[in-house]
Amino acid sequence: MEHTIQTTMTLNGVAVTRPIPARQHLVDFLREEMGLTGSHVGCEHGVCGACTLRVDGRIVRGCLMLAVQANGRKVDTIEGLSDSGELADLQRAFHEHNALQCGFCTPGMLMAAQDLVASRPQATRDEIRDHLSGNYCRCTGYHAIVDAVEEVLISRRGARK
Amino acid sequence: MKAPSFAYAKPATLAEVFDLLERHGDGAKLLAGGQSLIPSLNMRLSSPGVLVDITGVTGLAGIKVDGDTVRIGALTTHAEIERSPEISRHLPLLAQAVKQVAHVAIRNVGTFGGSVALADPAAEYPACCVALDATFVLASRNGERRVPARQFFKGIYATELRPGEVLVAGELKATGAGYRSAFLELARRVGDYAIVGVAAHAKVGGGKLADVRLAFLGAGDRAMLAANAAAAVDGKAYGPDVVKAAQDALAKDLAPPADLYHSSATKLHLARVLTGRALAALAA
Amino acid sequence: MNARAELPLHAPGTQVDKGYIGQSVPRPQAKRLLQGRGAFTDDLRFPRLAHVVFFRSPHAHAKIKRLELTKAAKSPGVIGVFDGRAVAEYCSPWIGVLAHLKGIKSPPQYAIAIDRACWQGEAVAAVVAETRAQAEDALQLIEADWEPLPAVIDMDEALEGKRVIHPDLGDNICFKRELDTGGVDEAFAKADVVVEETYRFGRHTGVCLEGRAILADYNAAEHTLTVYHATQAPHMMQDIFSRHLNIPEGNVRVIAKDVGGSYGIKVHVYADEMATAALSVMLRRPVKFVADRLESFVSDIHAREHKVKVRLACTRQGEILAFDLWDLTAIGPYSVYPRTSGIEGNQVVNLTGGPYKHKQYRARMQVVFTNKNVCCQYRAVGHPIAVALTEGIVDLAAAKLGMDPAEFRRKNLIPDDAYPYTFASGIKFEKLSHHRTLGRLLELMEYQQLRAEQASLRKKGVHRGIGLAAMIEVTNPSPAFYGVGGARISAQDGATIRLDPTGMITVLCSVTEQGQGAEGVFAQIAASAVGVTIEKVRVITGDTGVTPYGGGTWASRGAGIGGEAVLQAGRALRSNILDIAAVILNLDKAELDIVGNEVVSKLTLESKLPLVELGRVAYFRPDTLPPKFQSELTVTRHYTPREYGFTFTNGIQASYVEVDPDTGFVKLLKHWCVEDCGTVINPMLVDEQIRGGVVQGIGAALFEECLYDAEGQLLNGNMADYLVPMAAEMPDIVCAHIETPTKQSELGAKGAGEAGTAGAPGAVMNAINDALSPFGARVTSQPFTPEKILQALGKV
């Protein structure tokens, strides 16, 4: 028997109300019901980071949160943050450094990178690696990702001066 | 890997939580951060009839300092502990340990109470709580009772929690003057469960270590307090001989089970190495 | 028509402008991926889409005595539950053998196992339902009675053959090969120094972040099948779906959308994917299968389980005389189709010792069946083994002679002027640059300073190691790899290039994209060849209904083979455009050129006619052109390498590590790779391929192993227990290039996709052993876990 719960969340700035099966995790809900396929499923046990999303301003694993737990909360996905322009400098840096190849880890990686850049503006290369240590990338070997994030940190620091 | 079907309830009070636990018995599971529960559901390792989401119950989160007691609400997230000036100041051992817990995205959601109640032998908080001789506050329909951390952990994923009980807080004594802490863990990759780790705490002064506590994670079926190793150092002048005595004595305290990649002998060896490094960090 | 372009790429005397070739242009295709607006196979939505999950054997080897499917069939949302016999009515079995691997044998494999399961994880039933969750619910209602059979797990026991997995085959040997140049025993007898070592390589797997994904859509009205498939080789799959599902080839269309990483994992035929396609035909509706992470670990191909004994003979001056090796490698219970599971071992025989100029070589190799997951080609196929063996034993010999490892290599690397050269194993090198790359590497890494730093830190109890690994790598293969054995795997590729009316270029190419940048590279080549700016170019790959027929991506062939086809097509299109321009302008074609989207005067570069105007006239106003004139603005060219069976590249890597002798932990301080892959079309993309490949190799060296117990149960099939490299532990990786173009194509590009993975494990192993050398300790069994290092040090 499928137990559904009427759930309301603010999704990319828009209020959304749906009856959601209690067992459905947040990233499946976003992908299957809301057509937001930019967040990806890589492991469903919280290790790979492909599903990284933002809930109430903090990055979380979308596969480790029940969609019904997003009730009353603010959810931001890669699509929303792309359209708002919040990720624009990171996306440009990633592009120019080829910090993505297949792109499957990229939305989650950008979420984690944005979290770092916003919360640790003085981060070193080692600290960048540390903060991204929960996001698996098989294609790039991480070096270009670190380069791209470092460039954004430097440029945001410069912009603040 | 889709979870099996379950019902879901989000009570607003502890009384409602107790009702649900009583009504559903073994068929109910408490959901806090979900960072350990939900993977197990996705992998169909458990099949509860109902998840009782306690994150809506007021009064279970937050860090409060009352005299020399620091009370950590069960629903306090790892991230809140990491950011807390109170924890930094009064529980430096925990402040060091929390940085080793998984990754940022997990720390934003996972809770202190969830980690303690799960009682994974490789988790950070149980070892810290055992080292610091913390007390856990367990609430039920019948009221609250307090259980020392050193009695709370019974085995792998096994605790003193009785059916119908909810862990609501941990109470830890603020680190006193002259005390130092060191939390060290060995893991193949940042954020992994530790192969072996140690929560070390002692009073340091005049080149001596006193009131030494060494609690190991990943070295038994629960956080292991190494009493013999601590005794070998306690009250003595810090130096290589004393460290070696502690490392030798460790064999009386730990018989670590092997894991997928490390034999029991390797784990004991690594525990010895960490003992040396922890003592050096305390004495530095 | 296959007329060559009439004009040279550039007029004689003018400055050669390579256009975008050699430039680090960011990939246009990356933009959608950066916004989460890609289209991976699991992102697609279809009416009546059904989902299939598989009931998988919990036993490594067991007879299926009874399968009770009726309860599952009644579960909510279930469309049907099917066993192997039901699916076999729609999908014929296959055998993974090829004629050129003499003696290779394997039993037939069915889309869903019938009567017997041969590895833990093999699918024995399929549940199709409206949603994946409902299908998984139903799985739990399937009842199965098993009769466990003895499982063959250990490779030595498999070889010994007391228990034979497939009695009809007589033994557990899938394939064996022996090579002997002769004179080997004599070389060893007269050698001053003989060193011997046995290396072990742990079985591991690709762990693509996107699980294997297939969505098969059968149209019963037309008897057509469209398969959206995360595959590297759509035409190969078109052929296979056609033959095994009995649908005419032209009625099968395979489309590879965005693919979330592949590295060879997604170039093979998987039983559960064939079953998915068969179920779509049976049920007459779209059916999707995506391997979740737990099932990926037990069903994605594994690779690289080897035990190799190597001996090297050399003179006291350090001249290598001979290599002698015995390689035993364990695969699953079937040789995988259609490329066979004999190729990896075969490559170890072909490639060991490859950079060096010795003449005597002997190799014996056996591939044995076991009741573990199936194995097949995974990025760098065989090279990581061959390079580690070679470079490990070379370091051992150098150490025995007290010779610096770089110096020992310099003495033995094939000279840069010795080409063409036939190596001891028979493989032919067109032209390599071992000495130049070695020199560049030592300079780049500041080798002497590192040695000095190492020496001074050792005195302080800090143990660092430097490891080198020279390598050769197979790229741009001809049919010698598969075609000659009877496989319908194309070694040629084609590109169609078209000028559209508004002056944009569309390129259709049969090579596929999984993130390495094939589409970006083709855009650069096409823009350069035609004379347009790069934002005018669109590239379409991965659709058998649209592109020319070709091989797809594997064996590092995309840029070299697909790129050449694009170049030739682009040049031909340029010529055709200038034919039209000549008649429009009433000028001599020889006076014209195309630069920056405009037809210009070749001499003055003055603009004569924008392409957007030429397009308008050619497509909409041909009435204004001379009476007999026909415009041809779409051109197709194909290309396959003809002279060399394999176009070898060369490179050399170095690893700098610090080993903690108390914990056995290895810290990777830095990594370098100097690679010669011929013409470098996009240095940034090549560097990134190398870096990604290096980290994959590091994974094998330090972290990754599929751990099986004695009963054939996979113990660590999840992301927490199977360790893949994450950002915090990885070093910065410095890349540099030497360019020795191949003369087999005008582009001159060789391949680069696998080089990183080929050399990294050997370099890291040598670095660890270099760090451990003051202790007299060595490690030879990958992955090099802390425990193995502590054991070598005698601490546990």
**pLDDT at residue C711 tops 80:** yes
DSSP state letters, B43-95: TTS---SEEEEGGG-TTS--EEEETTEEEEETT-BHHHHHH-HHHHHH-HHHH
Structure-token pair, residue C724: 């893949």
Whether ipTM > 0.95 holds is yes
pLDDT in tens, A82-93: 999 999 999 999
CA distance C302 to chain A (A): 16
pLDDT of B17? 98
Crossing angle for the helix pair C434-444 and C405-412, to the nearest 10 degrees:
160
CA B72 to CA A42: how far, in whole Å?
34
Band of the pLDDT at A160, cuts 50, 70, 90? confident
Of A48, A107, A142, which is closest to C695 when you measure between CB atoms?
Answer: A142
- Among the listed ranges A157-161, C377-381, C478-482, which one has the minimum average pLDDT value? A157-161
Backbone angles phi, psi at C484, to 5 degrees: -65, -20
**Mean local confidence (pLDDT), C323-346:** 98
CA C89 to CA C81: how far, in whole Å?
14
**Chain B neighbours, 3+ Cβ pairs < 8 A:** A, C
pLDDT of A161? 66
C210/A40 touch (CB, cutoff 8 Å), yes or no = yes
**pLDDT at residue B131 tops 50:** yes
Q: Which of A76, A70, A72, A94 is nearest to A38 (CA)?
A: A76
The residues that bridge with C463 in the sheet, in sequence order, are C659
Whether B6 contacts chain A with CB within 8 A? yes
pLDDT of C17? 63
Asked if C340 and C229 count as a contact pair (C-beta separation under 8 A), the reply is no
**pLDDT at residue C2 tops 50:** no
Give the C window 208-247 contacts with A, CB below 8 Å.
208-211
Structure-token pair, residue C101: 């691997």
The residues that bridge with C465 in the sheet, in sequence order, are C657
A38/C36 touch (CB, cutoff 8 Å), yes or no = yes
As separate numbers, helices (DSSP H) first and strands (DSSP E) second, chain A gives 6, 5
CA distance B112 to chain C (A): 21
Go through the domains of chain A in sequence order and give each one's CATH number.
Answer: 4-81 (3.10.20.30), 87-160 (1.10.150.120)
**Mean local confidence (pLDDT), C9-14:** 44
Terminal Cα distance for chain C, rounded: 71
CA B162 to CA B59: how far, in whole Å?
21
**pLDDT at residue C473 tops 80:** yes
**pLDDT at residue A150 tops 80:** yes
Q: Which of C289, C254, C256, C728 is nearest to C515 (CA)?
A: C256
Sequence-ordered list of residues with C-beta below 8 angstroms from that of B134, at least 6 positions apart, any chain: B128, B148, B149, B170, B171, B172, B173
CA C552 to CA C561: how far, in whole Å?
10
**Chain C neighbours, 3+ Cβ pairs < 8 A:** A, B
- Among the listed ranges A20-34, C16-30, C197-211, which one has the minimum average pLDDT value? C16-30
CA C300 to CA C336: how far, in whole Å?
11
**Mean local confidence (pLDDT), C312-339:** 98
Whether C720 contacts chain B with CB within 8 A? yes
pLDDT of A159? 84
pLDDT of C14? 41
pLDDT of C8? 47
**Mean local confidence (pLDDT), C602-623:** 96
Q: Chain C partners of B44 at a C-beta cutoff of 8 Å? A: 136, 140
As separate numbers, helices (DSSP H) first and strands (DSSP E) second, chain B gives 12, 15
Q: Chain B partners of A58 at a C-beta cutoff of 8 Å? A: 79, 108
CA distance B135 to chain C (A): 31
pLDDT of C406? 98
Give the A window 57-116 contacts with C, CB below 8 Å.
77-79, 82, 91, 94-98, 100-107, 110
Q: Which of C210, C223, C228, C227 is nearest to C251 (CA)?
A: C223
* Cα within 13 Å of Cα(C311), Cβ side: 17
Residue C581 backbone class (left: φ over 0; alpha: ψ -120 to 50; beta: rest)? alpha
C786/B1 touch (CB, cutoff 8 Å), yes or no = no
Structure-token pair, residue C13: 């005397």
Residue whose structure tokens are 């396609």: C277
Asked if C468 and C437 count as a contact pair (C-beta separation under 8 A), the reply is no
CA B77 to CA B107: how far, in whole Å?
7
**pLDDT at residue C236 tops 60:** yes
Band of the pLDDT at A1, cuts 50, 70, 90? confident
pLDDT of C3? 39
Report angle CA C48, C51, C54 to the nearest 5 degrees: 155
Structure-token pair, residue B51: 């998840």
DSSP state letters, A106-153: HHHHHHHHHHHHHH-TT--HHHHHHHTTTS--SSS-SHHHHHHHHHHH
Percent of chain B with pLDDT over 90: 100
B38/A65 touch (CB, cutoff 8 Å), yes or no = yes
CA A97 to CA C27: how far, in whole Å?
10
Q: Chain A partners of B43 at a C-beta cutoff of 8 Å? A: 44-45
Count of B–C CB contacts within 8 Å? 60
CA B191 to CA C723: how far, in whole Å?
12
> Can the peptide bond before residue C338 be classed as cis, meaning omega within 30 degrees of 0?
yes
CA distance A44 to chain B (A): 7
pLDDT in tens, C126-141: 999 999 999 999 999 9
**Mean local confidence (pLDDT), B159-183:** 97
Mean pLDDT computed over every residue of chain B: 97
Number of CB atoms found within 10 A of residue C113's CB: 22
Interface test with A, best of B1, B6, B38, B53 (most A CBs within 10 A): B38
**pLDDT at residue A110 tops 70:** yes
pLDDT in tens, C616-657: 999 999 999 999 999 999 999 999 999 999 999 999 999 999
Q: Positive or negative, the Cα torsion across B12, B14, B17, B18?
A: negative
C720/B192 touch (CB, cutoff 8 Å), yes or no = yes
pLDDT in tens, B98-121: 999 999 999 999 999 999 999 999
Whether A58 contacts chain B with CB within 8 A? yes
Residue of C nearest to B187 (CA): C665
Mean pLDDT computed over every residue of chain C: 96
Percent of chain C with pLDDT over 90: 97
DSSP state letters, C32-49: HHHTT---BGGG---TT-
Band of the pLDDT at C5, cuts 50, 70, 90? very low
Q: Chain A partners of C694 at a C-beta cutoff of 8 Å? A: 141
CA distance C459 to chain B (A): 20
- Whole-prediction pTM: 0.97
CA A17 to CA A14: how far, in whole Å?
10
**Mean local confidence (pLDDT), B46-64:** 97
Q: What is the DSSP-derived secondary structure letter of residue C256?
A: -
